[in-house]
Amino acid sequence: MLIVGPPGAGKGTQAARLATRFGIPEISTGDIFRTNIREETELGVQVKAIVDAGDYVPDSLTNALVVSRLEEDDAADGFLLDGYPRTPEQVEYLDALLAGKGQQIDVVIQLVAEQDEIVKRLTGRAKEQGRADDTEDAIRHRQQVYIRETAPLIDVFKERGLLVQVDGLGEIDEVADRITKALAERGIGDVASGA
């Protein structure tokens, strides 16, 4: 399972709920980067140098970190990826990796949200949390980067018939219910239903 959506659409919140519901690990590239940096692994040292320089972590390094995480025991029976893949090359890499294990992507959940609403949500959160770096300009820039980088991937997943689009705006429980309903319409249920 993959979850995609613009920054501020609630991916992390919904991913955590889905992972718990399905009994699978939520695998976030951001979390992987932070863990490896904190633990000063060989890959983490490389990521830290790149991030500190303000550069984009290359596909080869991102792929290596994701592979390392997917090889852990808890991911053997499924997983939810958040923040990966982000490039067409990463999609190809993931496809090949999963094919080698006899696995495939079952569904891609896209949280859809109107940009101005997300900006309003994030600027409000920034004020509440005192996050000076979350200015409206910075938030709008991240939204544009997401649109530019992710749009081609959305088309790929749509062509494959994997995409499930869900309105990401509203209360957390409302969005979770929309996701549950959209997955049920595809025959994807929870562990209790045997799906």
Which of the following is catalytic: 38, 125, 127, 158?
125
Which of the following is catalytic: 11, 17, 69, 178?
11
CA nearest neighbour of 93 among 85, 105, 101: 85
d(CA 25, CA 111): 19
Q: Is 127 marked active-site? A: no
CB 27 within 8 A of CB 75: yes
Which of the following is catalytic: 38, 101, 127, 131?
131
Q: Is 160 marked active-site? A: no
The distance from CA 45 to its chain's CA centroid, rounded to whole angstroms, is: 23
CB 110 within 8 A of CB 166: yes
Q: Is 11 marked active-site? A: yes
CB 104 within 8 A of CB 98: yes
The reply to whether omega before 85 is within 30° of 0 (cis) is yes
- Both tokens of 189, joined, read 């249920």
d(CA 139, CA 167): 20
**CA dihedral sign, ordered 66, 67, 68, 69:** positive
Which sequence positions are flagged as catalytic?
11, 86, 125, 131, 142
